[in-house]
Amino acid sequence: MPPQMHLATIIAHAPAPHSIGVWRHPKSFNGFRYNKPQYWEHLARTLERGCFDMLFLADTFNLHDVYKGSPSMAIKYGLQFPRSDASLLIPIMSRVTTNLCFGLTANTSYMEPYYLARLFATLDDLTDGRIGWNVVAGFSRSEAANFGRDDVLDHKARYERAEEYMEVCNKLWNSWEPDAVVMDRETGVFADPDKVHRINHVGKYFRCAGPLSVPRTPQGRPTIIQAGASAEGTAFAARHTEIHFAVRASVDGMKSHRARLDAALAAAGRKPESVKVLWGLTAILGDDEASARAREQAMMARVAPEAGLSLMSGHLGYDLSSLPMDKPLENIAISGVRGILDSVISDFGPEVTLADAGRRYGCGLAGMRIFGNPRQIADQMEAAFAEAGDGFMMLTTDYLPGSVDEFVDLVVPELQKRGVFRTQYEPGVMREKLFGAGAQ
């Protein structure tokens, strides 16, 4: 059997998970509300029908307010805002599926480790071992302001804190030995106290007595997912992650990213095959390439440039509102953000204006973009997979939930016909589905 690709979909508990304009599409949310169980049940069932590995929930506590120093554009255009709690969706979706796994984003900067260790242990029980944790440390000042902080911790301190966070969580998840629960009706003994341990962690950032209030769960600990790309982020990933999520526009970019990760894994004493990399991918379907590209243009037309620029300003931490909208970026003389403008030009071409860049950015069109009919999409996915491995994190496109159904109904069978994608699930918990039976 040829190597099998992994597939996940990234989405959020929000009206516009990626493309800001998605809720405006006439076919979006027909019969569904993004914040009601029926929508999430439908998505989960669809992805399981398509044998997807994972539904991945991005999340932040952020409200973009860098553009014009105000949150008004984010509120006006629904810019990754509102966003409801994503963890509560997991039991809803796991009840209507048996194999689909779930990735949940949770931040190490604002909650004590005990809280998240308990949440993920509970979700591991409720899903029978189908939960992954996307470990993020937060990047936004507006997020910090919601938790009583003046600013985010600096980059190095954020990762240092996240490192200790993982240490505490791992101690808590191991605080119950696997056979600690006895439940002997005869003697009335529920658990063996000699097999449930205090952790008594005292560190730079945290103190925690333990044990966790949840006994050992099906996976023992959630499958760890991580997306950082800086030197610290890559080193963190190399120590902890099992799924790495990365955004690269070309196969060459993917290969050099993978090489950098593999070097970090070797330095951490881990093998390359201990981490699956999922590449961010936007696949736009049409009858042919031209109609798929027209579909992308229509997607961009539903994004107000200012909305995209608010998002971009938030991510860059730089207010782009002072720059002219309709002049090619190439001709804008400005220090400070020149490097950023150059990278936008290198992605979108020399004629790109700030307004164009805003529309594109607001569509969430980061990473690799491919266009065409189902056969052409499968060709391109197969080629990228053969060069860069391990699989793809599919960004949602223009309307929801229907564009996910479209991919599952039209592209998945093409991939399966070629033998590069499973037709049935592997047994076991999430870690075993990814790495094989018995994976610990």
Ligand X SMILES: Cc1cc2nc3c(=O)[nH]c(=O)nc-3n(C[C@H](O)[C@H](O)[C@H](O)COP(=O)(O)O)c2cc1C
Q: Contact between 233 and ligand X (CB under 6 A)?
A: yes
Q: Contact between 139 and ligand X (CB under 6 A)?
A: yes
- Of the residues 60, 108, 313, 353, which one makes contact with ligand X according to CB under 6 A: 60
Complex with ligand X: residue 52 or 176, whichever CB lies closer: 52
- Residue 44 near residue 100 (C-beta atoms within 8 A): yes
Q: Contact between 96 and ligand X (CB under 6 A)?
A: no
What gap in Å lies between CA 40 and CA 379, rounded to an integer? 30
- From the list 205-213, 221-229, 402-410, 422-430, the region that binds ligand X by CB under 6 A is 221-229
Q: Hey, which residues between 242 and 261 contact ligand X (CB under 6 A)?
A: 245, 247
What gap in Å lies between CA 285 and CA 356, rounded to an integer? 22
Please give the DSSP secondary-structure letter assigned to residue 4: -
Closest CA to 279 of 304, 257, 248, 318: 248
Complex with ligand X: residue 80 or 373, whichever CB lies closer: 80
Q: Contact between 241 and ligand X (CB under 6 A)?
A: no
Closest distance of CB 331 from ligand X, Å: 30
Q: Which residue in this structure is represented by tokens 């597939």?
A: 7
What gap in Å lies between CA 95 and CA 93, rounded to an integer? 5
Q: Contact between 311 and ligand X (CB under 6 A)?
A: no
Q: Which residue in this structure is represented by tokens 């449930």?
A: 196
Closest CA to 360 of 278, 282, 288, 286: 282
Complex with ligand X: residue 96 or 247, whichever CB lies closer: 247
DSSP string, 142-193: HHHHHTT-SSPPPHHHHHHHHHHHHHHHHHHHTSB-TT-EEEETTTTEEE-G
What gap in Å lies between CA 120 and CA 129, rounded to an integer? 10
Q: Contact between 306 and ligand X (CB under 6 A)?
A: no
Q: Contact between 227 and ligand X (CB under 6 A)?
A: yes
Residues in binding contact with ligand X, number by CB under 6 A: 18
Complex with ligand X: residue 137 or 312, whichever CB lies closer: 137
Closest CA to 398 of 313, 314, 278, 292: 292
Q: State the CB neighbour count (10 A cutoff) for residue 103.
A: 28
- From the list 21-29, 53-61, 263-271, 369-377, the region that binds ligand X by CB under 6 A is 53-61
Q: State the CB neighbour count (10 A cutoff) for residue 38.
A: 11
Q: Contact between 59 and ligand X (CB under 6 A)?
A: yes
Q: Contact between 230 and ligand X (CB under 6 A)?
A: yes
- From the list 69-77, 131-139, 318-326, 339-347, the region that binds ligand X by CB under 6 A is 131-139
- Of the residues 17, 138, 305, 372, which one makes contact with ligand X according to CB under 6 A: 138
- Of the residues 136, 180, 352, 434, which one makes contact with ligand X according to CB under 6 A: 136
Closest distance of CB 219 from ligand X, Å: 21
- Of the residues 46, 80, 87, 105, which one makes contact with ligand X according to CB under 6 A: 105
Closest distance of CB 242 from ligand X, Å: 16
Q: Which residue in this structure is represented by tokens 């804190």?
A: 161
- Residue 102 near residue 130 (C-beta atoms within 8 A): yes
Residue type, 208: C
Q: Contact between 228 and ligand X (CB under 6 A)?
A: yes
Closest distance of CB 177 from ligand X, Å: 33
What gap in Å lies between CA 376 and CA 370, rounded to an integer? 9
Q: Which residue is nearest to ligand X (CB)?
A: 233
- From the list 21-29, 57-65, 182-190, 323-331, the region that binds ligand X by CB under 6 A is 57-65
DSSP run (H or E) holding 225: strand 223-226
Angle at 356 between CA 340 and CA 318, to 5 degrees: 35
- Of the residues 16, 20, 47, 58, which one makes contact with ligand X according to CB under 6 A: 58
Q: Contact between 166 and ligand X (CB under 6 A)?
A: no
DSSP string, 390-413: SEEEEEP-SSTTHHHHHHHHHTHH
- From the list 69-77, 132-140, 255-263, 286-294, the region that binds ligand X by CB under 6 A is 132-140
Complex with ligand X: residue 17 or 428, whichever CB lies closer: 17
- Of the residues 15, 280, 308, 358, which one makes contact with ligand X according to CB under 6 A: 280
- Residue 282 near residue 368 (C-beta atoms within 8 A): yes
Give contact residues for ligand X (rule: CB under 6 A). 58-60, 105, 107, 136-139, 227-230, 232-233, 245, 247, 280
